[in-house]
Structure 1
Amino acid sequence: MRASGRGPSGRRPSRGRLAALGLALALLTGACGGSATGTGAASDASPASASARAAAAQKQLAKNTVVPLEGKPPTPKLPVTVDSSDGRKVTVKDASRILPLNGGVAEIVFTLGLGDRVVGRDITATFEEAEKLPQVTKAHDVSAESVLSLRPTVVLADTDTGPKEAVQQIRDAGIPVVVLDPATKLSDVTTRTTRVAEALGVPEAGKALNQRMSDELAAARAGVPKGSKPKVAFLYMRGSAAVYLIGGRGSGADSLLEAAGAVDAGTAAGLDKPFTPITTEALAQAQPDVILMMTKGLESVGGLDGLLQIPGIAQTPAGLDRRVVDMEDGVLLGFGPRTPLVIDILVDRIHQAS
């Protein structure tokens, strides 16, 4: 993660999202250590504390690990019957072999303290604890045969998981499949955490994790400088595939930017779709002070210098000031337990010299 200022210097969005991140250091370290505490951190809103929190957040994200809740791992209380987002009622009787088919969901399971029960992973589960698990997806499609070979007792999917035939084949084998709605905005993080915890029979752990994240977010947002409201454009790019998009309402980034005290430039310019092809006219209307990108997307266009060669970008305030912030693909729009760290970094980076 880096921010480019003046002078020289993955994961693709889900199908649903494309259709449709001193004292303060000690506070952050304590929060990331897994406790449900963190009240009081919000009282320190100085620029120095924001920088310290961002530095600590960046250090934690660089480890590419999750931070489980403190204490003894919870023991699932089963059976439970829960609502599945495909309109079914699903009964979970055994959580000894959990298979999350979504990277963000896997992150929640591990952070709840149930990582030792996870038997496989989706291609988007790239954090260290999951890396050595068998992968059951290819190009984001699920292999029913690979799933069944791991003998899971419960499968956690989302509405983007496919193909549908594979999901049905897993169900036909007698394995409960709980389908969740995708997380596309900040408020979805706690909702999905609650649903995962309930499906696995550990609702109290879900409440503790939600409280921890709430405290961390409050502390991060307290660092927003008073009177600072930069316009930030989220650009999704894959240069090798000639994909050049600007985010608007519903991109996911709009929710993060709002939490970080910024204005989503695409939404402010009237872009009502999650993503719109970049044009010089759209950029001229958006006039972003800062550009936010995924790291691989920035690399795919040749870094900052290559980005500025794309028509219209160099003429924006962000282009003129070379103000580009990039974050790792799987974390920025992951909407999981590490999202408060994303807000910490955004609060610091997007308000610099704004």
Structure 2
Amino acid sequence: MRATGRGPSVHRRAGGRLAALGLALGLLTAACAGGGTGAGASSGTSPGAASARAAAAEERLAENSIVPLEGAPPTPVLPVTVDSSDGRRVTVEDASRILPLNGGVAEIVFTLGLGDRVVGRDITATFEEARKLPQVTRAHDVSAESVLSLRPTVVLADTDTGPKEAVQQIRDAGVPVVVLDPATKLSDVTARTTRIAAALGVPEAGKALNKRMNDELAAAHAGVPEGSRPKVAFLYLRGSAAVYLIGGKGSGADSLLAAAGAVDAGTEAGLDRPFTPITTEALAQAQPDVILMMTKGLESVGGLDGLLQIPGIAQTPAGLNRRVVDMEDGVLLGFGPRTPLVIDILVDRVHQDG
């Protein structure tokens, strides 16, 4: 299967999945609609069910769409005063015009059922429901003028949002700005959801979304084959910029791989930084069974054949067996409501055939 940039693919075991798609859609639809159940979790314990869940997850990610919580959209109960990650206390009195300055934050807002209140987006909000909204960033920099022209009643940012002068200009105009810590690991997803729901006056919706995600993650993890612990190396590559890095502790991929029942090869090899330049020695130490990458990164080095030309990769078990899994850039480390779909796919793709 060739990487297309639209969704995840694995360069091995390409056949046999379409037959499972009917079962897959039923499994995943039930989990999303009902928030997941004990029955849903147990259904993921067989290899066939794991493959079915992965196939359905691929379909969902290919649609690039958000599945809101069931039922009527929540009604914000305001005002609320919340902690902002820049050390401030922020009071939100009106959530009728919400402007998230981060794609992951926007995804949570839409999934909470408040998408019809969102008035703009930043460049990283690329899912279908947000695509037609006005963009308020140039490259990754926020334009204060563009933000203020949309008359937001609350802005949601994170500590990486900048430039800081633009954020301060928005705040000086009287708009409440709630700053959040970035999500860099799986456990951050529920904490971030709780904070966003609290800031928008819909805490019960936040609890419901967290329950749904936790149930979906449990169902995905139930598909891990007993006794299977493959070593997976996350490689961050940008061939055009000569960036060749291997993930280690704190890369973000390490927490995803743990949830999928795999071992992060970089961390196992003693790499205690999020990213380290790739060397032949580092790869020889890591000895990954599978390589995990972002799709654009794989494309930037010429696909699988180009990847195998990087010194040391062809000599790893992953290189020898051509076992490379790639996933769309914005989804793989997005850490949001669609992250359980990522785990569904990883559970199926990184483990050996039974």
Looking at structure 2, the residues matched to 26 and 148 of structure 1 have their Cα atoms a distance apart, in angstroms, of: 44
DSSP-derived class of the 1:234 partner: strand
DSSP-derived class of the 1:261 partner: coil
Supply the AA of the counterpart residue of 1:77: V
Post-superposition Cα deviations, 1:152-175, rounded to whole Å, max 9, x if no partner, equal 000000000011111101000000
Post-superposition Cα deviations, 1:9-49, rounded to whole Å, max 9, x if no partner, equal xxxxxxxxxxxxx666423111223x334322221300000
The gaps in structure 1 that reach 5 residues or longer are 8-21
**1:226 match:** 226
Post-superposition Cα deviations, 1:50-77, rounded to whole Å, max 9, x if no partner, equal 0000000000110000000010000000
**2:11 match:** 4
Post-superposition Cα deviations, 1:221-254, rounded to whole Å, max 9, x if no partner, equal 0000000000000000111111111000000000
- Does the 8 Å CA contact 2:291/2:325 hold for their aligned counterparts? yes
Looking at structure 1, the residues matched to 160 and 143 of structure 2 have their Cα atoms a distance apart, in angstroms, of: 14
Asked whether 1:187 is paired with 2:179, we answer no
**1:26 match:** 26
- Does the 8 Å CA contact 1:99/1:121 hold for their aligned counterparts? yes
- Does the 8 Å CA contact 1:102/1:157 hold for their aligned counterparts? yes
Asked whether 1:175 is paired with 2:182, we answer no
DSSP-derived class of the 2:38 partner: coil
Percentage of pairs with the same residue: 85
**2:137 match:** 137
Match runs of 1:237-316 below 5 Å: 237-316=237-316
RMSD of the alignment, in Å?
1.2
Looking at structure 2, the residues matched to 337 and 274 of structure 1 have their Cα atoms a distance apart, in angstroms, of: 23
DSSP-derived class of the 1:40 partner: helix
Post-superposition Cα deviations, 1:182-211, rounded to whole Å, max 9, x if no partner, equal 000000000000000000000000000000
- Does the 8 Å CA contact 2:97/2:151 hold for their aligned counterparts? yes
**2:19 match:** none
- Does the 8 Å CA contact 2:31/2:40 hold for their aligned counterparts? no
Looking at structure 2, the residues matched to 24 and 39 of structure 1 have their Cα atoms a distance apart, in angstroms, of: 17
Asked whether 1:39 is paired with 2:38, we answer yes
- Could you state the TM-score of these two structures normalised by the residue count of structure 1? 0.94
Asked whether 1:72 is paired with 2:66, we answer no
Looking at structure 1, the residues matched to 100 and 165 of structure 2 have their Cα atoms a distance apart, in angstroms, of: 18
Post-superposition Cα deviations, 1:98-157, rounded to whole Å, max 9, x if no partner, equal 000000000000000000000000100000000111111122111111111111000000
- Does the 8 Å CA contact 1:65/1:127 hold for their aligned counterparts? yes
- Could you state the TM-score of these two structures normalised by the residue count of structure 2? 0.94
- Does the 8 Å CA contact 2:30/2:40 hold for their aligned counterparts? no
Question: What is the deviation of 1:3?
Answer: 0.3
Question: What is the deviation of 1:352?
Answer: 2.9
- Does the 8 Å CA contact 2:24/2:55 hold for their aligned counterparts? no
The gaps in structure 2 that reach 5 residues or longer are 1-7, 15-21
Looking at structure 2, the residues matched to 223 and 284 of structure 1 have their Cα atoms a distance apart, in angstroms, of: 30
Looking at structure 2, the residues matched to 99 and 129 of structure 1 have their Cα atoms a distance apart, in angstroms, of: 14
